[in-house]
Structure formats: structure tokens, C-alpha cells
Structure 1
């Protein structure tokens, strides 16, 4: 990532990671898409998006993508073009991504990065499009983008876009990245994927019912690294898969318990501790933003 000095006009915006605390597929729709049920838990850890406004209307990505994605296909670039086209703004932007969230692991990095670009540029360009319209634009980029635009933990249905905000208790997570880039489209086509799970309710989730993740058995059979991560995490608690990626996690009630459990894991695992967030840190950044010398609230 290039140096992004605020003195050179750069601003910095958080793009938090997420966990799916469960993921269920009640049915496959006639259009080929799958109806999902899940709970999104936002984390107080993730990427940072750096933005610098341009007067010439150009949208540029500064630096290469960590995942090797071409600039024109990068979700952050597509998000900026989409908003620019929607509101017909004359300004452009330089975008640099400080990447921490591993790609293809189910932690939502690309979707969160795109959502942060939408919300931050809405503020920096003085657009004030509104959260609902920004979320609708985000859905054009990916099913997980709207929850990051809204910035709240949520029960989700549909393809992930029908959101009901949830208040979740404080929690800390030991996260593991097995290093496998899971191909979501291929996993959705897996013949062994369960697509007819009985629909769950919010009450089921709140009661602590083990709702599971439909992709877990598929990935554990197909990817030895994912199975090895589950075996290692089983030493410290009950491991779960996030999203359709390869990332795994175990939940703890306190930071101290999570830290002690992390210390018990084999040294070869890429593992770390992250806190659950009560809401997206992006909302805090938006509320504190100073634009043009004046404080601007989140509204």
C-alpha cells in the first residue's frame, strides 16, 4: 500500500470484518439463487480504506490488489464508479486499501471495503444519498455489502439483504485463516450442500440452538487445511465456519479467555483474537468526520 499522508489530502476509513454466527439454506429459488438465513456479527478489526478526492472525475486504485484482482474488477473501484454514476458527481477519487482481512476466507473483506467506499464517498462528495439507497447500490455489488452499509449486527434472510438489527452481547473471538481461498460459486453448486434446511427463527438463535453452517461439512471434506483448523480449534472450544469461506472461529465471553485459548493453539496456525463490535466502527468514523472544516454528523 502506498503511503497515504493526511497532509496530502488522504482520509482513512475503517472497513470491519464480519462473522456469520450460523448460515442456513432453507431452499433454492427458481432463479437459481439460494435463500439464506444467517446472523452477521461485525468485528472491531478489519481493513482501512484511504481516499483522496480528485477534481478531474477519475477513479484510480493506488497500489495492487492483495488478491491479484484487476483494477476494473476491484469492488472498491466498482463501488466508486457506481456511486459516481448514480449521483452524476464531477469529482473523482484515489483509493488505497490497507488490507488485513484475508481474501476468500468468509470474513467479508471485499464487501466491507466496497461498503466503506460507498458511505465515505457519500460523505466526502457531499451526496447525502441516504443509507437505504446506498444499501440498494451495495446489493448490486454483492449480497453482503448492505449489512456493512447499515453498520449493525443483524439477522439476515433472502440472499442476505433482508436485515433485522440484533443486539448481541460482548464477545471475543479466536479467528483462524487456513489459507484456503474458497470459491463461493463452486460451493453453492456442490451436490452435497444442504439446500432444504428447516427455516430457523430469531428465537431459535437467541435460545442458543446449534444452527450450524451449511458450508462447513462441504469445506471440511474438500479442504484438508480447513479440517486441520477445525481439529486444532476443537482443543479450545466449539469451532464454527464463517460464511462460505474457509475462516473458522471460536467465541469467548472475555478477552482474557480468548487470549489464553489462542496461546494453546499450535504455532503453525494463522490465528488471532478480535472483539465483536456493538456496531460498525465505520459509523463512529462517519460521525466524527470533519468535512471542509466543519463537523458533519451521521444523520
Structure 2
């Protein structure tokens, strides 16, 4: 079959609160996920010989650890089919930045192979398979702006103010790797944020009062351990309500024009990479899945 190319958008956590810890060690979260029009590009081709092949393995990442390859194996294990696939990935989302790049790649593989292999699993079933790969995978299959609870897997669609999709997000990533597990295990991590109510978000027209109650609870610990993240965040805060996404290291701020966004990127701190993006109301592959 001819190869076809698909987009795997990254995400921002517009806020991330930790509201408790479960007996199994997992943390209860509240977050708001926004998909961006920036991300990786995957080329996926069905193979009839049953092999699942990575066309361009990431340096230092064994194929069996690559989330895109693991996703293909997980889907095949559930289906019992013996079809295969070749998957290549052009990476644009920084690795280890808290932007969900690998999770999004996995979600795109699940969505595409579900169709190529003729499985036609509903969206919810794909999300359950995705959750076995990582807590961030389901939101990309869910495919729209989402209020998240539980360990991040309980997703509710929400509508953002239209002006949120007119803004340009400047995302900067310091050249450090932040291990998520280290941050979740840190004794200084806030684990008892008062839960917010989704009704307050929906009914309050996302007033400034609502946003003033929000933050990223992982930010303080990450900044204490990784000065490069703290320095980049401090620099961005000159230009707005800058925050960290996920467990970092990427930080972001929204501005009102391409000109302003490009100016920030041009003048960004040394030892950072960056991009600008706009929010997406829906994942580009949303129509490939059904309820």
C-alpha cells in the first residue's frame, strides 16, 4: 500500500493541579488540555507480512520503547490481526518537554491503524488501549479541548473562548531533560490543591478570576531543580502569564500577534529552542474515530 502522511499535534496544559494521591502511588490531577497546530509528522504504511517496522528510529530510543511502535503492537495484540505496518516519524515536538510528543505519535498510530487494519474500534476503546501506553495518550484520541481529572484519563470536552484560538502561543524549551517520575516523587511537590469545579470554568466565561486560581503545581519543584527552566520562565513572564506545560521543561506564553510571537522567538534566551503555534479546537484526525 502507498504510504500516507498524518499529523500528530502536541498539547499544552493550560493549568495542572495535583489534588491528591491514590494508594497505588498515582496522583489525582486536574488539568486543561489544549491541542496545538504544531507537532510531528508520521508516515504510516500497511504491511501484509505482519511486521511492525520503524522506518527511522530515534537516536538512543530502542524500537521496543518507542511509543509509536508500542502503540501498533498494543492494537494488534487486542485485535488478534496479523497485519503489520511501517512507521516513520519526523520529530518537531521537543522530547521530554511536557508537550506530549510521544503520546501524540502513539495516538496517531492507533487512530490510523484502526482504520487501515479495518478494525473500526470506537474512540473510547482506542482511548482505553492508549491509556495502557501512557496517561497522556487518551487526550489525543479524545481529540478536542479537554478538562481532565483522575490520573488525567477522565476527559470532558470544554469550549474555550473564541479569542483563545486567535492567540499565538510562544513555546520555549530549555536544553534540559526533566524526568517526570522524579518530579512526582519529590517531597516538596504540592499534592493537596483544592479541586476546581468544571461548572465554574464553564459558567464563568473563563473570567480572569478563574484563571487567577490556576497554576502548574509541578512548576515550583521543576524550577528549583532545573535553573534553566526557572530562568526561561522568568524571561517569558515579562510578556504575560507564562506557565510550564506538564512536567516541563517547556514553558509558554500567549501573545496577540504573529509579529510579537516572532519577536520573542528571535530574542529568546540562549540554550533554548522554540516555536509558535495556535490552538486547535479539534485534532486533525478527529473524524477518523467515532463514538
SS of aligned partner of 1:128: coil
Q: State the shift of 1:98 in Å.
A: 0.8
Instruction: Give the whole-Å Cα distance in 1 for the aligned partners of 2:92 and 2:230.
Output: 23
1:180 correspondence with 2:172: no
The equivalent residue for 1:277 is: 280
Counterpart contact for 1:106–1:244, Cα < 8 Å: yes
Counterpart contact for 2:14–2:32, Cα < 8 Å: yes
2:16 to 3, 17, 23: 23
Question: When the two structures are superposed, what TM-score results if normalisation uses the length of structure 2?
Answer: 0.91
Counterpart contact for 1:176–1:229, Cα < 8 Å: yes
Which whole-Å deviations, capped at 9, do the CAs of 1:21-43 have from their partners, x for residues lacking one?
00000101111110000000000
Q: State the shift of 1:17 in Å.
A: 0.3
The equivalent residue for 2:98 is: 106
Q: State the shift of 1:64 in Å.
A: 2.0
RMSD: 1.8
1:200 correspondence with 2:203: no
Q: State the shift of 1:97 in Å.
A: 0.9
Question: When the two structures are superposed, what TM-score results if normalisation uses the length of structure 1?
Answer: 0.88
Instruction: Give the whole-Å Cα distance in 1 for the aligned partners of 2:41 and 2:267.
Output: 30
Q: State the shift of 1:261 in Å.
A: 3.9
Instruction: Give the whole-Å Cα distance in 2 for the aligned partners of 1:237 and 1:185.
Output: 29
Instruction: Give the whole-Å Cα distance in 2 for the aligned partners of 1:147 and 1:54.
Output: 28
Counterpart contact for 1:52–1:94, Cα < 8 Å: yes
Runs of 4+ in 1 over 6 A off after TM superposition: none
Q: State the shift of 1:161 in Å.
A: 0.6
Q: State the shift of 1:203 in Å.
A: 4.5
How many residues align? The count is 280
Which whole-Å deviations, capped at 9, do the CAs of 1:169-208 have from their partners, x for residues lacking one?
3132000011221111111000100001111122554233
2:244 to 200, 216, 241: 241
Map of 1:5-20 to 2, 5 A cutoff? 9-20=2-13
SS of aligned partner of 2:124: helix
SS of aligned partner of 2:99: coil
- Cα separation, partners in 2 of 1:254 and 1:165, compared to 1, 3 Å: farther
For structure 1, list consecutive stretches of 5 or more residues without a partner in the other structure. 1-7, 288-297
Q: State the shift of 1:148 in Å.
A: 0.3
Counterpart contact for 2:54–2:69, Cα < 8 Å: yes
